[in-house]
Amino acid sequence: MGIYTLFSVLILIACVLLTLIVLVQNSKGGGLAANFSASAQIMGVRKTADFLEKATWTLAISLLVLSLLASASIPRGSGENRSKIEEQIERAIDPTAVPNLPTALPEPGGTPSDDQSN
């Protein structure tokens, strides 16, 4: 497995986790933090909100770093994987190398070789 594929998989995992954590949060202070309203809990409302905020920032920063690393590790071909346009340009015929074809129309009475034989 190439390094680019590894970064791509890590980016997908970070995206899914970031989506889930953002959906758990509630901008009004509810969400997952509202379910832990009892003061006797180990993680209270404030600690859950702090954890979700830190997880969001951590995943967002890791997504940015992974994207930069993935773009730096894109596999570059050694010229074998060329575009179709480049191939067409190289296969194109040089217009100055095309021979000039006669443009005069033959005479209506016949071909010039028929007239000379009589």
pLDDT tens-digit readout, 31-66:
555 555 554 455 555 677 788 889 999 999 999 999
Residue 18 has pLDDT above 90, yes or no: yes
- What is the helix (H) or strand (E) element at residue 110, kind and residue range? none
Q: How many CB atoms lie within 10 A of CB 10?
A: 16
**Residues 82-118 pLDDT 10s:** 678 888 888 887 777 767 777 777 777 765 555 555 5
Whole-prediction pTM: 0.53
**Nearest residue to 6 via CA among 89, 84, 69, 95:** 69
